Structure 1
Amino acid sequence: MYLSLIEVLLPLLLVVLITLPLIKVFRGKVTVQSAKRRLLTHIAGFFTVIVGVFVLQMFISPQIYAAEGDPVSIVGTFAQGLGFLSAALATGMSALGAGIAVAAAAPAAIGAFSENEKNFGKSLIFVALGEGVAIYGLLISILIINNLG
């Protein structure tokens, strides 16, 4: 199954339109007020594109009806897309949470280790617990993706 030209170009166009307001912000050539306005434009554009894609998908996607006793397949449907999105969110949000946890625990562990070398094992446990959150999110993503096919 090959993608048509519009199925390739439309997402690329949407990504370019979403990122356009932030180009000057990244270059550092704007004032604080202008940067805030550009960031709000970026956020509004992002959520507008997301809502538009969901609405467009509901009207375009074919309805799949199964006969009595036939197994229902979600391959290539809106439900499968939402499943992949949920798997991505599970991984992304758990990695974000793990990053926040490690950002708080690692400096404290280094400080405790620098004061007393016997604190290395105890402080390493707290850093590893923060990393465990990301592993749990990855595990949930794998379980979600296994149930999609």
Structure 2
Amino acid sequence: MNPVITALLVLLPLALIMGCAAYLAKRSAAGMPVKRTLALNLSCFLVVLLIAGCFAFAVSAEDAATTTAVMTAAEKAASNESMGLGLLAAALVTGLAGIGGGLAVAAGAPAAIAAASEDPKSFGKSLIFVALGESIALYGVVISILILNKLV
């Protein structure tokens, strides 16, 4: 698969989800209920996952059309199926880790700010908890990159 297409499959959904999350964070700060914000963020993730899945299916169909006639039909089907499942796995890993990291930071950051405002010496300890929540999303991105490298 073309490396540009692979990069687009990873970066475009991430950019769309992060843009939606930033917009919803702004709306949540303006007074939007948390349940509605979470529902909108989840629906945005599912739409982006659907778009990425359709795009990945189109790309895998194009690759299947350009493969040589040496492969048997069963080998072609197994190759396309494993690539589609790998792309779906990478999208799910990134999205779910991003949602989990966002929930962790949403719970940890206000508590860290409150603790630091009461006792400035606790800033370092509270910063560790916020960084742990953010690392969940980074682990998801690393795993999805490993999955995509295995596919190519």
TM-score by length of 1: 0.52
Match of 1:134 among 130, 133, 137: 137
1:65 is displaced (CA, Å) by: 3.3
Tell me how far apart the structure 1 counterparts of residues 133 and 75 of structure 2 sit (CA, whole Å).
45
RMSD value, Cα: 3.2
TM-score by length of 2: 0.51
Q: 1:1-149 to 2 correspondence within 5 Å?
A: 63-65=73-75, 74=79, 77-149=80-152
Tell me how far apart the structure 1 counterparts of residues 102 and 84 of structure 2 sit (CA, whole Å).
27
Equivalent AA in structure 1 for residue 118 of structure 2:
E
Secondary structure, counterpart of 2:74 in structure 1: coil
Q: By percentage of residues, which structure has more helix? A: 2
Structure number, greater radius of gyration: 1
- CA deviations over 1:49-72 (Å, ceiling 9, x no partner): 9xxx9xxxxxx9893338xxxxxx
In the alignment, structure 2 segments of 5+ residues that lack a partner are 1-42, 55-60, 66-72
Number of equivalent positions: 90
1:99 is displaced (CA, Å) by: 0.4
User: Identity across aligned pairs (percent)?
Assistant: 53
In the alignment, structure 1 segments of 5+ residues that lack a partner are 1-41, 54-59, 67-72
